[in-house]
């Protein structure tokens, strides 16, 4: 039987800070990719796909980590 303890206050605060940082980077990446797409640069679509997939993966990881904590 494994006894899992919850996260400390510092760990939760750090995770909230990381998630806020990732959210800001995601918004900036989406704005940049939309600007590239509007300017006619086809690589903007690749950047948009990367940013959305990376952000989605981080969000899924974050939710799974939170659900495993007591």
Model pLDDT, residue 6: 74
Question: Domain map of the chain by residue range?
Answer: 9-68
CB 47 within 8 A of CB 29: yes
d(Cα 18, Cα 7) in Å, to the nearest integer? Answer: 15
pTM of this prediction exceeds 0.85? no
Residue 33: Cβ within 10 Å count: 21
The string of pLDDT tens digits covering residues 32-61 is 999 999 999 999 999 999 999 999 999 898
């Amino acid at each position: 039987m494994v006894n899992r303890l919850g996260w400390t206050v510092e760990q939760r605060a750090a995770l909230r800070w990381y998630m806020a940082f990732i959210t800001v980077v995601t918004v900036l990446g989406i704005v940049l990719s939309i600007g590239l797409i509007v300017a006619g640069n086809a690589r903007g679509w690749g950047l948009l796909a990367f940013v959305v997939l990376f952000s989605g993966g981080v969000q899924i990881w974050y939710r799974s980590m939170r659900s495993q904590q007591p």
